[in-house]
Amino acid sequence: MSRIFITGSADGLGQMAARLLIDAGHEVVLHGRNAARAQAALKAAPGAKEALHGDLSSIAQTLALADQVNRFGRFDAVIHNAAVGYREPRRIATVDGLPHVFAVNTLAPYLLTALIDKPQRLVYLSSGLHRQGDATLQDLTWEKRPWQGTQAYSDSKLHDALLAFAVARRWPQVRSTALEPGWVATKMGGAEAPDDLDAAPKTQVWLAVSDEPAAKVSGEYFYHMKPREPHPVVHDASVQERLLDACERLSGVRLPD
């Protein structure tokens, strides 16, 4: 049995992954952005160990969430699932003055990675849209560019893949991977999404707990439990480091060596 923490597991793919893991006999800790969402997550995933809460758009609440996670002791795997979508029509500023999409999709997984006791496995949800992300990493906080919601989302999903590969390079004792679940009909994906919803949560579950040699890897990118080549820049250590430096500068938290 493995112990797994899943961010953004009150609904959507996070909740679907949680149910699969619980059904397989694993100990799962859920997460919602507030207490009500956390309780809803528990009701929707019977058998979960607990549900924690913290708004990932807030640096302070994300730091507090990391503390909550660490009180449980070391986890075998953390699935960084939480994300907000690409339909935000304008730059929505968080309490820290950052774009909402960047704060939740990029900075929060960085902070949780840096602060949660190192698990054996880290799994980051990216997206096929990461291939449209801005590889220059210019204006991460959208202070100069005219706002484009789809581009901001694509950028953040490129950041998630870069983070996964940076961690794989820096922490050889941790298996760190990224994946794209496909464009599926969740609340975020929308009813028109064409991909297989049943298949969408399986890769992250497999990477988190499977003993198959194909799943026990690091620095790899997957789609439907098969390796898939990410944007070429994901392999570039200098770009990875630039993202880590930017996240440290914006948050004041350093990713440990």
Tell me if residue 153 is catalytic. Answer: yes
Measured CA angle at 112 (ends 13, 25), to 5 deg: 45
Closest CA to 152 of 184, 129, 183, 123: 129
Closest CA to 255 of 107, 126, 155: 107
Tell me if residue 202 is catalytic. Answer: no
Q: Regarding beta strands 226-227 and 220-223, do their DSSP bridges make them parallel or antiparallel, or are they unpaired?
A: antiparallel
Residue type present at position 124: Y
From the candidates 86, 110, 124, 153, give the one annotated as an active-site residue: 153
Q: How many helices and strands, by DSSP H and E, does the chain display?
A: 8, 8
Closest CA to 87 of 154, 176, 166, 179: 154
Strand order of the β-sheet with 77-80 is 50-53, 27-32, 3-6, 77-80, 121-125, 175-179, 220-223, 226-227
Distance of alpha carbon 156 from alpha carbon 158, whole angstroms: 5
Closest CA to 126 of 18, 231, 21: 231
Sign of the CA dihedral 202, 50, 247, 165?
A: negative
Distance of alpha carbon 118 from alpha carbon 138, whole angstroms: 30
Please count the other Cβ atoms lying within 10 Å of the Cβ belonging to residue 70. 13
From the candidates 86, 124, 157, 221, give the one annotated as an active-site residue: 157
Q: Which residue has the tokens 């070429």?
A: 232
Q: Regarding beta strands 27-32 and 121-125, do their DSSP bridges make them parallel or antiparallel, or are they unpaired?
A: unpaired
Catalytic residue list: 153, 157
